[in-house]
Structure 1
Amino acid sequence: MRGRLTVVTLGVGDLKRSTAFYAGLGFSISSESQDAVTFIDAGGVVLSLFGRVALAEDAHVPAEGSGFGGITLAWNVGSTAEVDTVIAAAVEGGARLLKQPGETFWGGYSGYFADPDGYPWEVAHNPFWPLDADGTVALPA
């Protein structure tokens, strides 16, 4: 297992406004984007924009009053078994399990853990996003 940061998700208040902002800065919006989420090629890392409340719900953390900063980190892997392996290793290493790995509403498989300082990490297998040989997400243009 080799650690890799593949996605940074920002919990935003207004998805359309935030998408227009990043597009205006010259970031390329991926065709994989949907009504509820925007995916942006950020040069080897995917920048994802998602509603703040929905992001907190997905990570199984309270949206308000908990210190949730409105950001999650993600590690995409090549299979569901790898998701289970990474989550188990994180918990064994001192992480707190936030969300048991399982099937997702978007057709993938993921779970969440909080690192020792409380930062939420999603570990995901997205069958729609191929990974390069080095594990980099090959986000469609």
Structure 2
Amino acid sequence: MILQRISLVTIGAYNLPELRKFYQSLGWKETEFSSDKYAAFKTAGIMLTLFPIEELAKDAGVPLAQDKETFRGVTFAINVDKIEQVDMIIEEVRQGGGKILREPSDAFWGGRTSYFADLENNLWEVAWNPDSIFDERGAMLAF
């Protein structure tokens, strides 16, 4: 049986130094082994890493998609503890050069949500769910 665990997520970066600067501009803390060739950010539950997309495709043995504007069918989420954090984070993303895809708004499911794209069109949702439960590290346990 495979462990039911996600420990690391890697984004294949077309321009790793530029994408790294974007996440740094959000105040995200990196590990000591981060560089413009491989960057790793500490988050509450998993590590988020950036790796050159050509190397990632080669390592996985798959062809490289050349169009970074095409939706890749994956979104990431930042779930927050307080409703006002959705708007605060989106403003930080805007100041850092991210593209706001959906302005913060109340969601049909009772929370608040917004979407943004980073500099390479990786999609992120920022959401507050009144039923979310987080552990002491900020990792989401339930919603």
TM-score scaled by length of structure 1: 0.53
Q: Which residue of 2 aligns with 1:127?
A: 130
Match of 2:75 among 51, 68, 72: 72
Q: Does 1:91 align with 2:94?
A: yes
Q: Does 1:104 align with 2:98?
A: no
Structure 1 portions without partners, runs of 5+: 1-23, 28-40, 46-65
Question: How much has 1:25 moved relative to structure 2?
Answer: 5.2
Matched residues, percent identical? 36
Number of positions where the alignment pairs a residue of Structure 1 with one of Structure 2:
84
Q: Which residue of 1 aligns with 2:26?
A: none
Amino acid in the other structure paired with 1:101: P
Alpha-carbon separation, structure 2, partners of 1:25 and 1:67 = 31
Larger Rg: 1 or 2? 2
Larger relative contact order (Cα-Cα within 8 Å, sequence gap ≥ 6): 1
Structure 2 portions without partners, runs of 5+: 8-44, 47-68
Alpha-carbon separation, structure 2, partners of 1:105 and 1:25 = 35
TM-score scaled by length of structure 2: 0.52
Alpha-carbon separation, structure 1, partners of 2:127 and 2:138 = 13
Q: Which residue of 1 aligns with 2:118?
A: 115
Q: CA RMSD in A?
A: 2.1
